[in-house]
Amino acid sequence: MEDYYFPLDTGLVSWDSTIAENWEVDVATTASGKRRTLCQQVMPGWDFSITFPALNKAQVDELLRFYATMKGPWKSFWYMDYEYHHVDNAIIGKVDANNYQCLALIGSYAEPAGKVKDLTLYVDGLVIENRDLSDGKFFVGVDEGTVVTATYDYYFRVCFKDPLQIKQIYKDVYSVNINLSVVRE
């Protein structure tokens, strides 16, 4: 699968942009009135609602081209949120033997990061060469009890949730509200 990246600088989003956490939970009430719930998700769904309050014509054209390339919600792509995208010198979890997994963090919630960049690895505080990195995982041959930490930026795999609507505010000034949903593949 080809990797696509959201084309606009997310530092341009307005402060009223939102992140929503959601869980699909089936709720049933028994004949006696007791509440029963069932959740089959291991990780939450995340929705990003981002507003670009002032884009120029070139940025709008770039966004329109990208939306057409994705065919709206059909293809997924990598999105780096402006607020939630960086981990600094965090302890990295072991997946098995000597394989480690980088994590995406939103608040105190952590989940496997699918794509990372600018990875700096530390073993017991010393910088080591970057290892083969695939889907946010890497191999480091270390002894038990060794502390592996890393600093990196991470992306979320998302797709467009709604049609793209662009509002012209002034000459060559446009506003766009975009809704994205995390995709698990």
Q: Residue 137's pLDDT is what?
A: 82
Q: For residue 129, is pLDDT > 80?
A: no
Q: Tens of pLDDT along 132-146?
A: 677 788 877 777 778
What's the DSSP call for residue 11? G
Helices (H) and strands (E) in the chain, counts: 1, 17
Q: For residue 55, is pLDDT > 90?
A: yes
CA–centroid distance for 130 within its chain = 22
For 12, the 3-state DSSP assignment is helix
User: pLDDT-derived band of residue 67, with 50, 70 and 90 as boundaries?
Assistant: very high
Q: Are 19 and 44 in contact (CB under 8 A)?
A: no
Q: Residue 96's pLDDT is what?
A: 79
Q: Tens of pLDDT along 2-40?
A: 899 999 999 899 888 899 999 999 999 999 999 999 999
What's the DSSP call for residue 62? H
- How high is the mean pLDDT of the chain? 90
